[in-house]
Amino acid sequence: MPKMRIETDSMGKVEVPAEAYFGAQTQRAVENFPISGICIPAPLIHAMGIVKYACGVANRDLRKLTESGKNRLSDEQVSALLAACEEVAEGKFDSEFPIDVFQTGSGTSSNMNVNEVISNRAIEIVGKDRFSEEKPIHPNDHVNMGQSTNDTFPTAIHVAVGREVANSLIPALRSLTAALAKKAEQWDEVIKIGRTHLMDATPLRLGQEFGGFARQIELSVERAESALNAVLELPVGGTAVGSGINTHPEFGARVSEEIASKTGIPFIEAVNHFEANAQRDGLVECHSNLKTIATTLFNLANNIRWLGSGPRCGFFEVSLPSRQPGSSIMPGKVNPVMSESMMQVAARVIGNDQTITLSGAAGGQFQLNIMMPVMGQTTLESVVLLANSANAFVEFCVSEMEANIDQCGSFVEESLSMVTSLNPHIGYMKASALAKEAFKTGKTIRELCVEQQILSDSALQEALDPFSMTKPQE
């Protein structure tokens, strides 16, 4: 049996693991929520450390005191509290946050988990006994001063999501854009057949096709930036219901300014704290952009999977890198695993959006949303999955792809849609008949035109020039 110690909270005594930095309220939550084994994600814990640090700085600078003076801290104690907050923000105490994500809907359990860890670590820093019943740096009175879970926990969610979008997702999408644009430039002279409805269409250049892909991801960068903008307003300063009870009027602005300074992201105080406490519409908006990005990535991965299909009985216009054996029974088979991985990530993110939508719509009653932990965890999962998938797709797929130039060209001459460029010369109906005859006889459009002397040799050569068909004609 592990060694235990006794901790006390407002409900009484609780046994806590002997060396843990967390205390009674954390332990109660661990026991109450044996649900999934999925803990609050590390980026959210780190963001809580940043938020608590900023709150400590604001309280120090505002010299906020109760009438009794109980909450007064010495400079040494304030320094210790801030140092402990920074250690949490740096991930030094990640193992001290064991509470399941499916917990109290406000996140109170996790907020108190953070408060307890910071309190005990700060007590340790000033050379006091963190196991004593008296807490010279108290989790509620000092670490949580001027705060409520109801404003600091959603603030931390916004900070965590904002940091991951800004520092991980946007750079990953920009990298993918650049990799696709590079292929578009390299393959600008490679003629291939177009496809609409999965059927043969008029020619285009492989570079044009990949230029379209690059633009799709470039737009995804803009959507990621919109996702970031959706979480820039911070609820901190509203405390319990948005009224700001038990905090200084300048507290929210000062905390938001400090968070912006520490993260390099332009977070601001919420325009209206009642809105900011009550609803998580910013997260819903944020994730809707993530869903759109996922939709685009699914489409990109699937198109590249199709272009690489084969190698002998598919399109095989692009050769995908061989990453691993593809079959336990078919020797030599290699599969488009990176595309499949990205498509699964996209499916997960699209599914996550339903969780966010329902949590935002049904979870907010009056002055508080009560589904915040799952909203935070789900949004962060989506951001991390999209960023990691985009990075892996660049490194293990796009950068190593090669154009199969001969294969691209072989389809062009066989396409019945080559007849499209004859429309201005012979009209739609005659061109349609020519296409049907070509399909029936197995001949190419060019061969039939020569046999039937549809156009002069020079006019036919000009009309059926594949490269000229990849751009507007003057």
Catalytic annotation, residues? 197, 327
Cα–Cα distance, 344 to 126 (Å, whole number): 49
Cα–Cα distance, 357 to 284 (Å, whole number): 6
Task: Tell me the residue ranges of DSSP E strands in 349-460.
Answer: 364-365, 368-369, 402-403
The answer to whether the CB of 354 falls within 8 A of the CB of 294 is no
CB within 8 Å of 281: residues ≥ 6 apart: 360
CB within 8 Å of 425: residues ≥ 6 apart: 454, 455, 459, 463
Cα–Cα distance, 239 to 333 (Å, whole number): 60
Q: Coil, strand or helix: which one is 242?
A: coil
Helices (H), 36-169: 42-62, 75-89, 108-125, 149-164
Cα–Cα distance, 447 to 462 (Å, whole number): 15
The answer to whether the CB of 108 falls within 8 A of the CB of 39 is no
Judged on CB neighbours under 10 Å (0-12, 13-18, 19+), 346 is buried
Cα–Cα distance, 113 to 25 (Å, whole number): 7
Backbone angles phi, psi at 129, to 5 degrees: -85, 110
123, 343, 350 from 290: Cα distances, Å: 41, 14, 8
The packing angle between helices 42-62 and 75-89, to 10°, is 160
